[in-house]
Amino acid sequence: MIKTIYFIFFICAFSLGLWACTGKDSDKFKNLSSDQFEEMIQDKTIQLIDVRTVAEYSEGHIPGSININVLDNEFGTNIEKLLQKDRSVAVYCKSGRRSRNAANILVKKGFKVYNLDKGILDWKELGKEISF
């Protein structure tokens, strides 16, 4: 009897684990290489968002980007005030981790989102344009 209970518990836990790994919002935005991202943002209808801190932004950013810090408690409110849902959003951060988090939030709020994979570090490494 105990073995049966453990077996059923194992099957339930395994099933829950599989279910938790499917259908995540991260599948709903597109990660782009620096070259793809650069091509994408040539379209002036794209809303370009730097989700790093103000200090990081002031050390150099992609031209035309606006800074909305994803670590700010008001991030969700700020994006709804500053962005238009009928226009796509391109996001980036230092290495790509925070921008993936921001992309998930944006997707949940109804935006079409593109993320700079590997962040501005890769962008700089490839010698792409930076503004100060």
Burial 90-107 (b: 16+ CB within 10 A, else e): bbbbbebebbbbbbbbbb
Q: Can you tell me which residue has the tokens 């109804």?
A: 110
How far, in Å, CA of 24 to CA of 124, rounded? Answer: 30
Q: Any idea which residues carry the catalytic annotation?
A: 93
- 121/13 Cα distance (integer angstroms): 39
